Chain A
Amino acid sequence: MEDSTLNRYTTGIKPLAVLSALLVASLFMMNAATQNSTLFGDIYSMLLVINLVGMVLLLSLILINLYRLVVQYRAKVMGTRLTLRLFLMFVLLSVIPVTIVFIFSVQSLNKGIDSWFDVKIKRALDDALLLGRTALDARKQDMVKKGKDIATELEGMPDKAALTSLNQLREQYNITELTLFAHDGKVIASSSQKGLDISSLVPERPSEEIMSQIRKGLPFSSIDPVGNGGLQLRIVVPVYAENVAGPLRTLQLNQQMPIRYTKLGESVQNAFAEYEKLVYLRGPLKFGFTLTLSLVSLLTVLIALWAAFFSSQRIVAPLKDLAEGTHAVAQGDYSKKLPVPGNDELGVLVKSFNEMTQQIHQAQKQSRRSQREAELQRAYLETVLTHLSTGVMSFDRGQHLRTSNAAAVNILEAGLIDEEGQSIDQLLDSHPHLSPFITAIKEGVSSNESEWKTEITLESRAGSRTIMLHGTQLPIFRSRRGGYVVVFDDVTELIRAQRDAAWGEVARRMAHEIKNPLTPIQLSAERIRHKCMTSLSDKERETLDRSTRTIIDQVDSLKSMVNAFSDYARQVQTVPKEIDVNGLVRDVVELYHTDAVIITEENHGKKEVQDQDMVIILTFDPRLAHITADPGRMRQVLHNLILNALDALKQSSTPSLRITTQNLEKNNQTFVQIRIEDNGPGIPAELLDHVFEPYITDKEKGTGLGLAIVKKIIEEHHGFIYAENLEQSGAAITMQLPASQNTTMENHNDTNDSPIQYREHKA
């Protein structure tokens, strides 16, 4: 606050303007006092001091401003260079003319003052004074003569009669005042005109100097100026006594000069005195005027400096603002608005600048708005793409991967997120299993069709998968090809579902169309057998018996098959309940304790096991989540799978079946995984992809519907099942079922805990 006030006083225009105005007024007054002392003469010295102090102050203020300007110039502050240049130019333009005017003015002033004095005037005044003195001296000599005459008449006159004589003599000689002094200076008698304007009732006594002259016998005479401006003749003469030893008396005559004499004398005196004074003051006058002129010139220069400083700053200010504005625009700040200095060219320029920045600002805002909208669109698209179950990949015109979504990663089983920007050939190198996929894309692109569609088969860990691709060329923008986008779906499950539906329909028709005639066939065969057995010979009876038994057995077999198909096709009403999978597995496995040795946590290491013994190892996750499922259907699944496994292990020397349960996190969802592994011969490779399809079996006996029904039940419970062969030997069936919602949370934190191992594989 104090700094800003000080700054305002040192750099503001008003303080300097007021100070300059005061100094100008003071100089006017000083000049008037120099010319005529009656005007401001009493305060001349004060004016001089005020002017000097004011100029020092003005100079200080200008120097402070100049110092700041130089500091800013050294600091390379915007606009100071131009300000300094303009300042120096203004200084040169002002100081040089003022200096020239000053020099010529001083010379003219000196000459002018000298011209006031003329020898003739001086001589005339001297002569006038001499003339006046001569005239007065004549009057004076006349008065001296009169004084001597009166003194002669008063010789021998006793003091007592002196007054009468003085009165007579004063009137006789027409003297203004006559006074007779004793030898000791006392007044003996005095006579004066009536109505005389005298300053004192007592006549002035002659001084000792006059008296010493009188004692020498010489008369004294003088012309005395009196207080009211008049002149008075004063004559003092001795009055001798009749005898030589008598006391010396003194007679004093005061005679007022006539008014005409007085006026003329006063005029001569005043004119002479004024001229003499003027002559004497010639030097000081020159000095005074020169001093005033110097101060005026100095003040003019200082005001010019100050005006130059502020003018240059005022001129440069809009340019400085413009420079700062352009700098701000260069830095990307378009919101800066400059103050318009006026209606001149600079004002028009600044207005245009403001309009330009405003338009750019508007355009920038519009651009930002568009960019924000584009980003929103992009985020929206990304969100949609991320949550799409369909895989999406886009490539630029150079066949470089630009984007891919999460579904693409899952479908292709390839980490494409970090491989954006790679060419399609690099993708092939990184993921050889994508060869059919990439080949299909290349073919689609090379076809130059705007849209193309194809179907490929990819081999994966879970078997062959069918992928449906749909490629579209992106629109061309400004002669630049926009690349293309490939959308693809894993249709394996769809195809399987279609196939399953077809098989279901076949089964249903078979059950309907085949089952009905089987019973009459079987009954007819039994009837033939019953009626004809007794009437036929032994050989024929044997033949009939064998034939009818064959018919009846085959019809039973056909019935079983039809029942199996019926089960497969039947839509069973499930009753879901929350199930502890570990307990369910344990219950189901318990039914096989006569056929196999069951190894659990409790009996681990306690049971004696031979190499040829069938072993079922249970490895349970103690914190396994529950599932919501129909217990009867799930029990059927486990029976089918265990029976299949046991069948597969019949030829094995060290048959072993391992059932493992564990929690599994997949796509932010908890699944319960049940895995059944055997160390049998495994599933033939040609059947592996179709093992869950109806009528697919490697067993001599069997409908081929067991695993199809298992898969159907698992899918009814929204689960997932797949089969695979193990690396060493054997096969594994893995089921994943969604965990119940209420058990998911409590077991969620423990999903990474390893399940307890009860027994190692046999060597």
Chain B
Amino acid sequence: MLLLMTGIPAIADFVVNDIKAGISNKILTINGGLDLGLSSKADEALNKGIPLDVWFDIELCRERRLIWNKTLQTWRIKRQIRYHALSRQYLVTRDLKNPESVENFTSLSEALKFMGNFNELKLAVSPEIMKKYNHLIKVRAQLNIESLPAPLRPVAYASPSWHLSSGWTEWKIQH
């Protein structure tokens, strides 16, 4: 697999570092990770027991020369981090549908690194994918303000500290 980075991170807080993606046997495999840097407000809220949900949006697109790219398939991966005061550990849930898939970390940096890591992430793609076309994926990570407690949402919408997003980055895929 030959991987080329073409995307440029838009927001400094969440940064897409390096993504390697390939399609094989109708499976899209993604490796790489994102640096999820929390703002002081978000860090404070996390340590005060507010769970933070980060949404990873992935779009599979067909590259077109003259017009805009065609989006073939989209995925949204939802991960959550929260602080457990009694054990003094950060709990990362990588699959919100399965609450027991929790990883414990004593340090926040280790937890965020784990949270932003795509280690052999496999996604099933539709049969439309054809080798004769060039494809690419777009990746974005953003803090979901709507998952915050209701009273906090107006404040979060009004404050730039809460608008944590990596912006879209594009990564070429070679079949």
Residue numbers of A with Cβ under 8 A of B are: 33-34, 37, 41-42, 44-45, 48, 129, 132-133, 136, 199, 207, 209, 222-228, 231, 265, 268-269, 272-274, 276-277, 279-281, 283-285, 287-289, 291
Contacts and interface: CB of A to CB of B under 8 A. Distances in A.
Q: Tell me if A's interface is mostly helix, strand, loop or mixed.
A: helix
Nearest to A42: B146
Given A223-B87, A227-B100, A283-B155, A288 B150 contact: yes
Contacts of A37: 149-150
Contacts of B106: 222
Contact of A34 (B86, B87, B146, B150): B150
Nearest to B101: A227
A45 B87 contact: no
A199 B100 contact: yes
A225 B100 contact: no
B150 A136 contact: no
A281 B149 CA distance: 9
Given A272-B49, A280-B48, 8 more contacts: A33-B150, A41-B149, A48-B153, A225-B104, A226-B102, A265-B86, A272-B86, A276-B48
12 contacts: A129-B86, A133-B86, A199-B100, A224-B89, A272-B49, A272-B85, A273-B85, A274-B49, A280-B48, A280-B50, A284-B155, A291-B154
A228 B110 CA distance: 23
A288 B151 contact: yes
A277 B49 CA distance: 5
Contacts of B85: 129, 269, 272-273, 276
Most buried by A among B106, B110, B152: B152
B45 interface: yes
A494 to B, nearest CB: 119
Nearest to B104: A224
Interface residues of B, number: 29
B149 A231 contact: no
Interface string B35-46: 000000000110
A34 to B, nearest CB: 6
A291 B102 CA distance: 37
Nearest to B48: A280
B68 to A, nearest CB: 29
Interface string B53-89: 0000000000000000000000000000000111111
A225 B84 contact: yes
B133 interface: no
B160 interface: no
A227 B96 CA distance: 12
A153 B87 CA distance: 30
Most buried by A among B48, B91, B99: B48
Given A42-B146, A45-B157, A225-B91, A285 B84 contact: no
A199 B104 CA distance: 14
Most buried by A among B84, B85, B86, B106: B86
A224 B87 contact: yes
A284 B155 CA distance: 7
Nearest to B106: A222
B155 A287 contact: yes
A287 B158 CA distance: 12
Contacts of A277: 48-50, 149
**Nearest 6 interchain pairs by C-beta:** A227-B100, A280-B48, A288-B151, A273-B49, A44-B150, A269-B86
A222 B101 CA distance: 18
B143 to A, nearest CB: 14
A413 B39 CA distance: 123
A619 B50 CA distance: 138
A4 B86 CA distance: 67
A287 B159 CA distance: 13
Contacts of A41: 149-150
A274 B153 CA distance: 18
A515 B145 CA distance: 154
Contacts of A288: 150-151, 154
Contacts of B99: 227
Contacts of B49: 272-274, 276-277, 280
Nearest to B102: A227
B77 to A, nearest CB: 19
B89 A287 contact: no
Interface string B122-163: 000000000000000000000001100111111101000000
A274 B149 CA distance: 12
Given A228-B100, A277-B49, A34 B151 contact: yes
A132 B101 CA distance: 25
Contacts of B146: 42, 45
A48 B50 CA distance: 22
A281 B151 contact: yes
Contacts of B151: 34, 281, 284-285, 287-289
Most buried by B among A224, A272, A285: A224
A467 to B, nearest CB: 113
A227 B103 CA distance: 9
B79 to A, nearest CB: 15
A280 B46 CA distance: 10
Contacts of B155: 283-284, 287
B110 A209 contact: yes
Contacts of A283: 155
A389 B110 CA distance: 135
A129 B88 CA distance: 11
Contacts of A268: 86
A132 B50 CA distance: 21
Contacts of A48: 153-154
Nearest to B47: A276
Nearest to B158: A287
Contacts of A281: 50, 149, 151-152
Nearest to A36: B150
Contacts of A276: 48-49, 85
Contacts of A227: 99-102
A222 B104 contact: yes
Nearest to A231: B87
Contacts of A224: 87, 89, 104
B52 to A, nearest CB: 12
A274 B152 CA distance: 15
Nearest to A274: B49
A33 B150 CA distance: 6
A460 to B, nearest CB: 115
Contact of B87 (A33, A225, A274, A284): A225
Given A42-B146, A272-B85, A280-B49, A225 B44 contact: no
B83 to A, nearest CB: 8
Contacts of B145: 45
Given A276-B48, A276-B49, A277-B49, A44 B86 contact: no
Contacts of B149: 37, 41, 277, 281, 284
B86 A284 contact: no
Contacts of A273: 49, 85
Given A34-B150, A280-B44, A284-B154, A222 B89 contact: yes
B92 to A, nearest CB: 12
A129 to B, nearest CB: 6
Interface in B18-47: 44-45
A37 B153 CA distance: 11
Most buried by A among B84, B85, B110: B85
A33 B151 CA distance: 8
